[in-house]
């Protein structure tokens, strides 16, 4: 499934509606962002149980600020409304796939318990 374009208008619907969302913060002028885009899109095609979303930081600076994005590309993984991972930098495909595997294995009950 193609990545969703995430904006301030649809953020709540996408993030609260999806139990597992991976967000790519990017900009058109960013070389590493353009290099990572096909990796992100292939992963979106392979993992149809995950919502893949893209935030154009030039078009949506409020979202970039809310996530405290300081360099791009930045990936954020949100599960059940909680950010469980966020990191700047383009990832090679095998590393990104391993990150997705690890994010699937996160015990969300434990995450919620430790947040209290």
Tell me which of 108 and 49 has the higher pLDDT.
49
Residue 18's pLDDT is 65
* Residue 3 backbone phi and psi in degrees, to 5: -60, 150
Structurally, how many domains does the chain consist of?
1
CB 71 within 8 A of CB 88: yes
Mean residue pLDDT of the chain comes to 93
Per-residue pLDDT tens for 77-91? 999 889 999 999 999
Residue 96's pLDDT is 97
Which run of H or E residues covers position 21?
A: strand 20-26
74: domain range? 4-115
CA distance 74 to 85: 10
pTM > 0.95: no
CATH code of 50's domain: 3.40.30.10
Residue 19's pLDDT is 81
Per-residue pLDDT tens for 2-44? 899 999 999 999 988 668 999 999 999 999 999 999 999 999 9
> Confidence class of residue 51 from pLDDT cuts 50, 70 and 90?
very high
pLDDT at 61 > cutoff 80: yes
Active-site positions read: 30, 33
Token pair recorded at residue 106:
């996160």
- Helices 93-105, 31-46: inter-axial angle, 10-degree rounding: 50
């Amino acid at each position: 499934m193609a990545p969703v374009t995430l904006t301030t208008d649809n953020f709540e619907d996408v993030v609260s509606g999806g139990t597992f969302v991976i967000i790519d913060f990017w900009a058109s002028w960013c070389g590493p962002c353009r290099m990572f885009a096909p990796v992100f899109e292939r992963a979106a095609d392979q993992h149809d149980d995950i919502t893949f979303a893209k935030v154009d930081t030039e078009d949506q600076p409020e979202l970039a600020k809310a996530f405290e994005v300081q360099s791009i590309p930045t990936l954020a993984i949100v599960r059940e409304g909680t950010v469980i991972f966020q990191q700047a930098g383009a990832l090679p495909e095998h590393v990104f796939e391993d990150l997705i595997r690890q994010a699937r294995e996160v015990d969300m009950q434990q995450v919620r318990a430790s947040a209290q």
